[in-house]
Chain A
Amino acid sequence: GAGVSQTPSNKVTEKGKYVELRCDPISGHTALYWYRQSLGQGPEFLIYFQGTGAADDSGLPNDRFFAVRPEGSVSTLKIQRTERGDSAVYLCASSPSGGGNQPQHFGDGTRLSIL
């Protein structure tokens, strides 16, 4: 399809493990965003990429969280030493170039459960 693709759709892992979440944005979109949505809440911003660079990582909660986008398309969100509080749905979004009136188009998310 032509939408934002996120894999895996579900991830269950044990506390302390390392996880990687993948996002494939809409083709040609240079702006890419990661959000985290806890149960009963709206999404909360984590990080924004413009091309290959992280233009705003102010939402990352601590240094266990890291994201990359090496070739300006696919992005990977990496979480080290996972904690039970990291359990949430992680949403990725993209927009053509960011800014202005461009809506962000979201993927279906990855539901992360830390046991």
Chain B
Amino acid sequence: AQKITQTQPGMFVQEKEAVTLDCTYDTSDPSYGLFWYKQPSSGEMIFLIYQGSYDQQNATEGRYSLNFQKARKSANLVISASQLGDSAMYFCAMRAFFGNEKLTFGTGTRLTIIP
């Protein structure tokens, strides 16, 4: 079984500051992928970034980076230079590489960017 824990229900951050959203996970699968999604108030789930369990380097996509610490089972999302449009729910999710296609999601963190 897989479990994702997001301990920050809500965060307020000043515009242009960096923000870290926490995610810890638990799994017995030897190979797995970690994903972050953004869900604005309009409802769509937008894929942001992916990290594979065997990737040697932390993933980066523009202003998004993933601070992956395998031994600690954490996969925190870092957003640099936050913008008003970053205000949304953010979900961490994981999936085993083999034998299981489903994504397991955390409960999410609501990020609010303050002008």
Contact = CB atoms under 8 A, between A and B. Distances in A.
B107 A42 contact: yes
B33 A101 contact: yes
A109 B45 CA distance: 9
Contacts, number: 63
Contact of A56 (B37, B45, B91, B100): B100
B97 A41 contact: no
Nearest to B47: A103
Interface string B29-55: 000010101000011111100101000
A59 B102 CA distance: 9
Give the contact-size bracket for chain A: 20 to 34
Most buried by A among B4, B45, B103, B105: B45
A55 B98 CA distance: 13
A99 B103 contact: no
B105 A42 contact: yes
A43 B105 CA distance: 6
B104 interface: yes
A93 B37 CA distance: 13
Interface string A45-56: 100101000011
A105 B102 CA distance: 13
B43 A45 contact: no
A65 to B, nearest CB: 15
Contacts of A45: 102-104
16 contacts: A33-B102, A35-B103, A42-B91, A42-B105, A42-B106, A45-B102, A45-B103, A89-B43, A100-B97, A103-B50, A104-B35, A106-B45, A106-B46, A107-B44, A108-B43, A109-B44
Given A50-B101, A106-B45, A106-B46, 17 more contacts: A31-B101, A33-B103, A42-B106, A48-B101, A48-B102, A56-B100, A56-B102, A58-B102, A98-B101, A100-B33, A103-B35, A103-B47, A104-B35, A106-B37, A106-B47, A108-B43, A108-B44
